[in-house]
Chains A and B, each alone.
Chain A
C-alpha cells in the first residue's frame, strides 16, 4: 500500500456548526488512496437530555412512543458520526416500527398469558409461538438487516441489504446448530458465516460489499477469548485458594483443613472469598464477552470493502476498547443506568476516532441502487427480543 495521503482533512468544528457545504474532495489520480478519518461529535450532556426526555415520554405513553424514542436515540448517534464532512442519517419510519412492535407484542403477550394463566391447551399455544419464533428467527434477522441498511443514509444515498433467505438460514440456522452440536468448536465458524452474510449483502447505493476476512481470523478471536477465560479462571482459583489458606492461618494459627465442611462456610473469611470469587467470575465473563465484541468489530472493519474501491480501517486498540466496555458496564451498574448515555458516547467517540475510510475514488461518485420498501417487523422482533446481530 502506498503511503496514505489526506487531501481533505475534515474540519470538525465546521461540521459541528454545520455552517455550509463541505468541499468536494479534489479528484485524485487513479490508484491514489485517500484517507477519510471518521469522527463522532456527540456530547454526553446533550445526549443525556435527549435520552432522558425520550425515556420519560415512552413511560408516560405506556410504551406507545417507544418507536419514536428508539429512532431519535439512533438518529443522534448516526447524525453525529461523520466521514468526509458528511454525517450519517437514520431514516426509519417510527410508524412502521410501531406496527412491528405491536405485532411482536401480541405474539409475546399470547405467549406470556399462556404461561401465566395456564388455561386449557396453553402448552399448545406457548409451544406454537416458541416454535414459530425458532423457525422464523433467521428470516427475521434478514428482515432486520434489510430494514437497518435501508434506513441508513450517507451523502443522500441509502445503504441496502441483498442477502438471500437461504443465506440467512445457513448463517443463522445451520451454523448456529452446528456450533451447539460441536460443543462450540464450530462457534467461530458460525461467527464468520454471519459476518460474511452481513457484509456481502451490504450495498452502498449500487456498490456491493465484500468481506475479505476468513474463518481463521474469527478462530483466533475465539481462541484468545478462551485463553483469557481459562487463564483468568486459573488466576482467580489460585488467588482464592491462597486467600482462603491465609485467612484460615490468621484465624486458627495454622492452616486447618481438617474441619467440617459446614464449619468452613460459617467462617467470615470464606464467605468474603466466595463473594470475591463470584465477582471475579462475573468480571471474567464480562471481559471475555467485551473482547469478542471489540475484536470482531475491529476484524470486520479491517476486512470490509465496498464496490472494490472503498475499504475501512480500524486502528483502535482492542484492549483499550475492552477496557472502555468493562468500565462502561461498571459505571452503568453503579449509577443505576443513569450513566448509560455517557457510556454510549464515550465508546462511539473512541471507535470513530480510530476508524478511517480509505478510497480510491472521490466519495461523491457513488450511484443509487434500486429502491426497496422494507417491513419493520424483523427489526421490531430483533430489538424487542434482544437478538444480538453482532456488530
Chain B
C-alpha cells in the first residue's frame, strides 16, 4: 500500500527496541515521516546503527487497556513504547487495526460497555424470538420429503418394538371407517405428504409408560391415534378435529423445525460459553429447554388454527375440537367445553409445551366468531 505524501508532521516515539535475536533491550527512538528510522539512544556498546524502513512496513499490534504499545518491525524486531497517541496516529495514517481499535474504545468506557451489553440482550432476545425459529422453519421446509418418509418409518419401528404401542383393539370395520374419514382431512391438508392414519393401543401391559388418550404426527404425514382417544370422543367430528390439528403439525413441519431449533440452541450455547462439553453447557440446558417449550406452544397454536379452518369448512363450527380438548384436560367423558373456565395464564406457563387448554378453547371460539 503506497503511502500518499504525508500532510502530517513527523512522529517521534521513544521506547525500547528488541532485535528479535536477543533478549537485550535497547533504549531507542522511532521517527516516522514518509519513512521510518530507528535510532538506539544512550551509551550502548555494540548497538545496531540507525535502521530504515518504509513507514507502511511497520505493524502496530492492537492496543490493550493499560499496556504500552508494540510495533512489529521488518526482520523480526519490535519496538515498545508508552507513546500511545503517537502509535494511534501511525495507525490512522496506515489504516491499521480499525476494527480492533474500535473494540479497544468500547473496552475503555463504562457507558459503551454497558450499552454493548444492552445491545447484546436485545440481539439475543430478537434472535431467539424471531431469528432462530425462522431459520429452523426454513431448514425444515428445505428438507426433502424422502428424508421425512425415512424418519416416519424408523420412528414407527422404534415405537412398535419398544412396547410403547400395541396393535389396536378396534374392529377392522371401525378402523377402516376412521381411515376413510381421515383421508378427507389429508386431502384437504395437502402439501404432497403421504398421509396415513395408524391406530394403536396406547396402554399395552408392560409399557414403560402409558401414552393414554393421545394422537401425534410424524414429519412425513404419518398420524398415530390411540384407542383411548377414540374411546374418549363422543363423535367422529371431534376425532377429525384432533387429526386436522395433527396435519397442521405436518404441513407446518413443526417436528423437524423443533429438532433444528434444538440443534441451533446447542450451537449458540457453545458459541457463548466457548466450550463444547464444559459445565457451562449443562447450565445452559435449563433455559434452552424453556425456550423449546415456548417454540412448541407457538406451534400448537398454529396447528389449532389449521384445525379450526378445517372444522369450519367441514362442519361450520370449531366446537368438536373444543369439546374434546376439555375432555382431554378433565379426563372425564361427560365433560364438554363449558367444563373449563378461562383463567388467567397459569404461573407455570413457562414449563408447558402446550398452551393452557382454556386459552386454546377460547382461541378456537374466536376463530369461529371471526369466520361469521
**Could you tell me which residues of chain B, from 77 to 107, have a CB within 8 Å of some CB in chain A?**
77-78, 80-82, 100, 103, 106-107
Are B23 and A66 in touch, CB under 8 angstroms?
Answer: no
Contact status B274-A58, CB under 8 Å:
yes
- Classify chain A's interface size: 35 or more
A116 contacts B65, C-beta separation under 8 Å: no
Distance between A138 CB and nearest chain B CB, rounded to angstroms:
19
Asked whether B25 lies within 8 Å of A63 as measured between CB atoms, the reply is: no
Residue A24 at the chain B interface, CB threshold 8 Å = yes
The reply to whether B67 and A18 contact each other, CB–CB distance below 8 Å, is yes
Quick one: closest B residue to A22, CB to CB? Answer: B25
Q: Which residues of B contact A66 (CB under 8 A)?
A: 271, 274
Contacts of A365 in B (CB 8 A): 22-24
Whole-angstrom CA separation of A72 from B82 in the bound complex: 19
User: Is there contact, CB below 8 Å, between B113 and A21?
Assistant: no
Q: Collect the chain A residues with CB atoms within 8 Å of residue B21's CB.
A: 367-368
A194 to B3, CA, bound (A): 51
The reply to whether the CB of B275 lies closer than 8 angstroms to some CB of chain A is yes
B268 within 8 A of A: yes
A79 within 8 A of B: yes
The reply to whether B113 and A49 form a contact with Cβ atoms under 8 Å apart is yes
CA distance A56 to B106 in the complex (A): 11
Task: Choose, from B11-19, B298-306, B314-322, the stretch at the interface.
Answer: B11-19
- Residues 135 to 180 of chain A near chain B (Cβ within 8 Å): 154-157
Least CB distance, A106 to chain B, in whole angstroms: 12
Q: Contact at B103–A366, with CB atoms within 8 Å?
A: no
Stretch of B117-125, B186-194, B236-244, B331-339 contacting A (4+ beta carbons < 8 Å): B117-125
Residues of chain A within 8 A of B76, CB atoms compared: 371
Size of the B side of the interface (Cβ < 8 Å), in residues, is 58
A-B contact count (CB 8 A): 157
Most buried by B among A53, A59, A364: A53
In angstroms, Cα B67 to Cα A18, docked, is 7
Question: Are A366's CB and B25's CB within 8 A?
Answer: no
Contacts of A116 in B (CB 8 A): 259, 262-263
B266-304 interface with A by 8 A CB criterion: 266-268, 270-272, 274-278
Closest chain-A Cβ to B148's Cβ sits at a distance in Å of 12
Decide: A385 near B113, CB < 8 A? Known: A66-B271, A86-B25. no
A383 x B25 contact (CB < 8 A): no
Q: How far is the CB of B219 from chain A (nearest CB, A)?
A: 12
Contact A156 B271 (CB under 8 A): no
Task: Note all chain A residues with C-beta closer than 8 A to B18.
Answer: 155-157
Asked whether any CB of chain A lies closer than 8 Å to the CB of B130, the reply is no
Q: Report if A156-B19 is in contact (Cβ < 8 Å); known contacts: A19-B82, A50-B107, A53-B107.
A: yes
Contact B23 A364 (CB under 8 A): yes
Closest 8 CB pairs between A and B? A156-B18, A63-B271, A18-B68, A18-B82, A155-B23, A21-B16, A366-B23, A21-B27
Q: With contacts A49-B109, A59-B271 known, what are 7 further pairs, Cβ within 8 A?
A: A50-B107, A59-B124, A63-B272, A68-B103, A156-B18, A156-B78, A384-B275
Using a CB–CB distance below 8 Å, which chain B residues touch chain A? Answer: 14-16, 18-28, 61-62, 64-68, 70, 76-78, 80-82, 100, 103, 106-110, 112-113, 116-117, 119-120, 123-124, 154, 259, 262-263, 266-268, 270-272, 274-278
Residue contacts A-B, CB under 8 angstroms, 24 given = A16-B66, A18-B68, A18-B82, A20-B16, A24-B24, A46-B66, A49-B113, A50-B65, A52-B113, A53-B103, A53-B106, A53-B116, A66-B274, A70-B274, A116-B263, A117-B259, A118-B154, A156-B22, A363-B23, A364-B24, A368-B22, A371-B76, A384-B274, A386-B276
